[in-house]
Amino acid sequence: MAILVTGGSGFIGSHTCVQLLDAGREIVVVDNYCNSDPEALARVRELTGKDFKQYDADVRDREALRRIFTENHIEAVIHFAGLKAVGESVQMPIEYFDNNLISTLVLLEVMKEFGCKRLVFSSSATVYGAGNQPPLTEEMPLGAPTNPYGRTKSMIEDILRDLCVADAEFSAVLLRYFNPIGAHPSGRIGENPNGIPNNLMPYVTQVAIGRLPKLSVFGDDYNTPDGTCLRDYIHVVDLARGHLCAVDYAMEHTGAEAINLGTGEGYSVLDLVHTFARVTGVDVPYVIAPRRDGDLPAVYSCPDKAKELLGWETEFGLEEMCRDSWNWQKNNPTGYNK
Ligand code: NAD
Ligand code: UD1
């Protein structure tokens, strides 16, 4: 009995594979490496001392998925595979709908064919939209997504809720991630963005290592304590542990359940920059720049439901997130490229 991890070579997937293997679970990974490097999986093996089957395939490839389900006894799926860059999704909506929606539909069809009814899905806090006051709770009404990437997450949540109505035996855990940063404390796996990063922490670490000259802080005139936006940063190892709890929950329950994975703390952009400098001893030059379109002043979770249903709580704080992001960056200045 194995857990299929789609997108297992990516940032969150690779960390989750480590957690699953460390917990003694059997895993099978499928990835097409459109946004990752297979070296990540080699390092997962190195870190855990365990081996697993790895399929180099696109999740939209129905025959490849059938082969995976035929060759393995898959009891549950953790579905990370997808495209995730907000700005790129505005430029390339068709590619985003095609990749994210079709991969999910093909996966669900093949799961149905093989009688597999346990799914953990990577959703996002972006589904809450702009109309809710943080801390965000799972029963709040979902907002209209402002970009194609966010729309794919909302649409997939809807698809999974509909599926659970149609099939009373199906279990779908919709994990709404807040802002995952950090890296495995070993410094062997971490976030490896292509090109210039869009997200704050990889931008900060690339400034710190000297690959980029300075950080632009997008807006200091928000209605927040220091004027910069508040976000709920979560250590990727805590997030990965949440998937282990979610997969166990999915094994024992039916229906669709949305669950936040966040710390419940809102830190500002400048909190993060200053904590990073203090913890690492490396300065991060920055300038204040205009606001970025689509940014909300404050986004942070209420993490109570995850504690109640999954028995999961975060262990790491902002200092560990900064320490481990930097440890990964300085040991791998150009990511997985050796
Ligand atoms: P990532 O890009 O590092 O990992 C995604 C993996 O999926 C990559 O290895 C990529 O090669 C693979 N992939 C993409 N499309 C595929 C396909 N059609 N077939 C096979 N493999 C495919 O991203 P991540 O940060 O690890 O995110 C994982 C999931 O979590 C994504 O669905 C993302 O949208 C979601 N998520 C991420 C964040 C975040 O901040 N990182 C926040 C909320 C939600
Ligand atoms: C973004 C996406 C969100 C997605 C998440 C993870 C937008 C509007 N939201 O979230 O849908 O789920 O990434 O991929 O794109 N910042 C700077 N300078 C930078 C980069 C970021 O000041 O160079 C600030 C941003 O304004 C924001 C904070 O840092 O206030 C965090 O930004 P980011 O890491 O991009 O995450 P989100 O915007 O929260």
In tens, the pLDDT along 109-127 reads: 999 999 999 999 999 999 9
Count of CB atoms within 10 A of residue 89's CB?
22
* Percent with pLDDT over 70 in the chain: 100
Whole-number pLDDT of residue 252: 98
Q: How far is the CA of 151 from the centre of ligand 2 (A)?
A: 17
Q: Which residues line ligand 1 (CB under 6 A)?
A: 7, 9-13, 30-36, 58-60, 80-84, 99, 103, 122, 124, 177, 180
Q: Do the beta carbons of residue 54 and residue 94 sit within 8 Å?
A: no
Residue 173 and residue 264: Cα distance in Å, rounded?
Answer: 20
Q: Can you say whether the dihedral through the CA atoms of 150, 153, 156, 162 is positive or negative?
A: negative
Q: Which of 149, 249, 267, 300 is catalytic?
A: 149
Test site for ligand 1: of 15, 28, 31, 235, most ligand atoms within 8 A of the Cβ: 31
Q: What is the pLDDT of residues 164-188, one digit of tens each?
A: 999 999 999 999 999 999 999 999 9
Model's pTM, two decimal places?
A: 0.98
The rounded mean pLDDT for the chain is 97
Catalytic residue at 55? no
pLDDT beyond 80 at 228: yes
Distance 134 CA to ligand 1 centre (A): 25
Q: For residue 256, what are the contacts with CB-CB under 8 A and spacing of at least 6?
A: 157, 160, 161, 163, 164, 172, 174
Ligand 2 neighbours by CB, cut-off 6 Å: 84, 86, 124, 126, 150, 179, 198-200, 203, 215-218, 229, 231, 269, 292, 294-295, 299
Q: Token match 């979610």: residue?
A: 246
For residue 142, the one-letter residue type is L
The predicted-structure confidence for 54-77, as pLDDT tens digits, reads as follows 999 999 999 999 999 999 999 999
Q: DSSP states of 87-122 as a string?
A: HHHHH-HHHHIIIIIIHHHHHHHHHHHTT--EEEEE
Q: CB-based burial of residue 301 (10 Å sphere; 0-12 exposed, 13-18 middle, 19+ buried)?
A: buried
Please state the rounded mean pLDDT for residues 161-166. 98
Q: Which atom of ligand 2 is nearest to the CA of 217?
A: 22
Instruction: Using pLDDT thresholds of 50, 70 and 90, give the confidence band for residue 243.
Output: very high
DSSP percent split of the chain into helix, strand, coil, nearest 5: 40, 20, 40
Q: Is the pLDDT confidence value at 338 over 70?
A: no
Task: Give the chain's length.
Answer: 338
**Which whole-number Å values give the CA distances from 267 to 39, 118, 179, 206, 240, in the listed order?**
32, 34, 11, 20, 21
On the question of pLDDT at 149 being above 80, the answer is yes
Instruction: Supply the pLDDT for residue 18.
Output: 99
